[in-house]
Amino acid sequence: MVDDWVAHTPKDILAKNFGVNASIFGSVPSPNPYIFNGTVSTHNVTDGPAGTLSGDASFVYRTFQHPAEKVPGGGGEFRKIDSTNFPASKTLATTFVTLQPGGLRELHWHPNAEEWLYFHQGTARATVFIGNGNARTFDFRAGDTAAFPDNSGYVLVYRVTGVEDVS
């Protein structure tokens, strides 16, 4: 699926995502990569590195009291909230993403979860890839919500002013 996804992504978007010259993608392989099924994890997600939660555990995470990270696609920042930094969050993760105009949310996918996006302000364009050459591009504006199927790749390009991405 990855080479199919790359084959259907504009070369300038790939170049921006990976921080390289677009000419590098001149000989992208053809679709249908022959990826085989992997092994399903047996990891118990109810136990975490912080141990079992007790009645004294905090169920509040102060998102903006923690430093943001740079968006790998460039042109923005994100704050990830999951069990690595918020032990109460055992089965849900979220990311608050802010992109500058023209900023890119890097190509990515979630193999075992849907991707939900809520657009807080501005406009954006996202293309979702579900394999076998199947892709669709959507335009979003403030107040819109999107849900992409699990194991589908997507790329998001921000057009005007700020976007919240709830993964």
pTM above 0.75, yes or no: no
How many whole angstroms separate alpha carbon 12 and alpha carbon 20?
9
Decide: 143 and 53 in contact? Cβ < 8 Å: no
How many whole angstroms separate alpha carbon 167 and alpha carbon 147?
9
Dihedral sign computed on CA atoms, order 88, 93, 95, 96 = negative
Decide: 122 and 164 in contact? Cβ < 8 Å: no
Instruction: Write out residues in the chain with pLDDT < 70, as ranges.
Output: 1-3, 29-59, 158-167
- 37, amino acid identity: N
Q: In this structure, are strands 76-81 and 69-70 parallel, antiparallel, or unpaired?
A: antiparallel
Q: What contacts 102, CB < 8 A, 6 or more positions away?
A: 75, 157, 158, 159
Q: What is the pLDDT of residues 16-62, one digit of tens each?
A: 888 999 888 887 765 554 555 566 666 555 455 666 545 545 667 77
How many whole angstroms separate alpha carbon 144 and alpha carbon 98?
16
Per CATH, the architecture of 2-26+66-158 is what? Sandwich (2.60)
According to DSSP H, which parts of 19-133 are helical? none
R_g of the chain, CA atoms, integer Å: 18
**What is the structure's pLDDT at 105?**
83
